[in-house]
Amino acid sequence: MKLYCLSGHPTLPCNVLKFKSTTIMLDCGLDTTAVLHFLPLPLVHSPRLSKLPGWVSKDGTISLEKELKECAGRVFVDSLPEFCPPERELVDLSTIDVILISNYHCMMALPYITEHTGFTGTVYATEPTLQIGRLLMEELVAFMERVPKAQSATCWKNKEIQRLLPGPLKEAVEVWTWRRCYSMQEVNSALSKVQLVGYSQKVELFGAVQVTPLSSGYALGSSNWIIQSHYEKVSYVSGSSLLTTHPQPMDQSSLKNSDVLILTGLTQIPTANPDGMLGEFCSNLAMTIRAGGNVLVPCYSSGVIYDLLECLYQFIDSANLASTPLYFISPVANSSLEFSQIFAEWLCQNKQSKVYLPEPPFPHAELIQTNKLKHYPGIYGDFSNEFRQPCVVFTGHPSLRFGDVVHFMELWGKSSLNTVIFTEPDFSYLDALAPYQPLAMKCVYCPIDTRLNFHQVAKLLKEVQPLHVVCPEQYTQPPPTQSHRSDLMLELQPPPMPYRRCSVLGLPFRRRYERIQLLPELAKSLVPAEIKPGISVATVSAVLQTKDNKHVLQPPPKPAPAPPSKKRKRVIEEPPELMSPKPLLSGALPLEPFLSLLHKHGIMEVKVEDTPDGHILHLQAEDTLIQLEEDSTHIVCDNNEALRATLRDLVLRFLQKL
């Protein structure tokens, strides 16, 4: 049993588990932090960006003015942004049998894995994961394709050149594996391979392994997975939350008794309390609006935004901001808001019970109905006509490199009245802002990451008691910026097995047993004998049949009745069928009872001679010797086959057969 690690990003994992002849990919997260090295893609022509100076090395020998631009002392690649997909060399992707998806953020690399790789397997995901994942992919593709950029920069990736570039571009790794965004066609093809599953649904893989998604409490339809056979159990924990937000609470108890627990997707901001951040978000928002400024919230189109809207639903009335328009701008804004209302089964109890009334589970329905929240597919069209300031705009992409957010950064960046509030934890806000410097706009960092923190994980692991824990190496030491915080790491006994990109781990357990079915006819024919109190044994002679990785024992076929053969005389010449050996024997042959049994069978003249280890019995009339020892019996009988057979059967009476 082995684990191949294709991604080094702890919250966007991609691991491959080989278990009982199945190859299972756990998540396929797409590391999008690579886009921070690129210049933003403006929706409308930006004079500022186009006037940025090209980069020339200090000694003037290398000039990549077309590919690299300098802004406020940092160098950016002027090209269509690229992502860092999972490693493709470590495992032959065409051998992957199934992909298990834990939540919609962790499936963004799916087209890179399933398309043009020979992949023929099945992807398993819950319905919300599929639907919202599709929206996020659609959005990503729309963002990229809306502003076509012909140029593709590759010169800078040359090792010799990259070495000379200033940081952080110099430190960027795996740059040759970076890829452009996929197309909508590839998304559709990839998603057509998804098979929907429900929580606690037991899915059989080739009869060998059973996989089950469990609620993980982090997002709509988010799941952890149990991968098990009858005897071994691997839990895959990815992006789980114990906070009560909108999703169904996390199922913890089903993780118990795992042999191995693979732990990924812990909070990226272990020092920030989501509730406190939510409060800060509201107060900053109110302050800016009251001062006449606008608020920009760069965010994903699903997830925390539902909680932010719910929070604002309660907040705006009390803060006297009910007349401030809220705008949600995304190609998938409408779909995201609509979809959130139809997944009652996947929501927390509180929201579920609303559906029974029947009322929409999320209050953003009411915000839309009362015209407080408006959604638009983009900044063009209706939005430009209806747009009123001051306002709050929710829009993507949180990296600030593409999407409508770029436009608002350019538009509002110059005024100190405006505020950008970062709520998504995936990107460093300073890096995200770098190409917009110098910036007059206020910046507030309120990352809301509801995933498990180290304290919660320690408690969880104590409760579910896995034998071994596997986790990204980042979790085995304190964060580099807070190296003194030993509380911000996993401390376990035995210590967790760390992995990094391209690691191959041998998982520490040995399989000993397998499930087999005895057909009822066979079971009925067995004759158990009690060997010790409470323990019985029976010898089984049966035919093994294995089909679809399921094993069945059938009664052995009855020998075909010998055909009335003319060569009857020759029968004895026929050697016995090559058969498996007779059962093993166990037990002891007690002298006195054996002698009396011999006596009963007409063998009277027995001379017993004691030896150091037992006795030798001379059957004088028959000229036969029987040597008895504690663990052996030796019958020496020369010319009387019938007698030998009798003696054999008498001896067998005292012994147990196994």
Nearer to another protein by C-beta: 606 or 651?
Answer: 651
Beta carbon nearer to another protein, 142 or 319: 142
| Least spacing, CB of residue 217 vs another protein, in Å | 16
If the CB atoms of residues 428 and 554 are measured against another protein, the closer one turns out to be 554
Phi-psi group of 200: left, alpha or beta (phi > 0 → left; psi -120 to 50 → alpha; rest → beta): left
Sign of CA dihedral 589, 593, 595, 597: negative
**How far lies 262's CA from each of 1, 10, 13, 242, 507, in Å?**
13, 11, 11, 18, 10
38 SS3 class = strand
Minimum distance, C-beta of residue 557 to another protein, in the bound complex (Å): 6
13 phi, psi to nearest 5 deg: -75, 165
Cα 350-353-359 angle, rounded to 5 deg: 110
Beta-sheet pairing, 15-19 with 2-5: antiparallel
Measured in degrees and rounded to the nearest 5, phi and psi for residue 434 equal -50, -45
Please provide residue 568's backbone torsions phi and psi, each rounded to the nearest 5 degrees.
-55, -35
- Which CB atom, from 318 or from 546, has the smaller least distance to another protein? 546
Classify 407 in phi/psi space as left (phi over 0), alpha (psi -120 to 50) or beta: alpha
Cβ 348 to another protein shortest distance, Å: 13
The CB-of-203 to another protein minimum distance in angstroms stands at: 9
State the minimum distance, in angstroms, from the CB of residue 586 to another protein: 4
Choice between 62 and 591, CB closer to another protein:
591
State the burial class of residue 516 (Cβ atoms within 10 Å of its Cβ: 0-12, 13-18, 19+).
middle
Residue 438 or 520: the one with the smaller Cβ distance to another protein is: 520
| H helices present in 183-264, as ranges | 184-191
Nearer to another protein, 491 or 530 (CB): 530
Residue 298 CA to residue 305 CA, distance in Å, equals 10
In the complex, least distance from residue 386 CB atom to another protein, rounded to whole angstroms? 21
Answer yes or no: are the C-beta atoms of 507 and 470 closer than 8 Å: yes
Q: CB of residue 526 vs another protein: minimum separation in angstroms?
A: 7
Cα-Cα-Cα-Cα dihedral sign, residues 157, 162, 166, 171 = positive
Residues 633 and 616 sit within 8 Å (Cβ to Cβ): no
Distance separating alpha carbons of residues 106 and 139, to the nearest angstrom: 15
Query: Which is closer to another protein, CB of 189 or CB of 352?
Result: 352
Question: Locate tokens 């020092």: which residue?
Answer: 271
Closest to another protein by CB, 520 or 561: 520
Q: How far is the CB of 629 from another protein (least distance, A)?
A: 8
- Cβ neighbours of residue 408 under 8 Å, at least 6 residues apart? 296, 393, 395
- In the complex with another protein, the residue whose CB is nearer, 222 or 399, is 222
Per-residue tokens: 315: 């907040």
Beta carbon of residue 211, minimum distance to another protein (angstroms, whole number):
12
Q: What number of CA atoms fall less than 13 Å from residue 246's CA on the CB side? A: 27
- Torsion over CA: 127, 132, 137, 139 (sign): positive
CB of 244 to another protein, least distance (A): 18
Name the residue nearer to another protein (CB basis): 198 or 279. 198
CB of 437 to another protein, least distance (A): 39
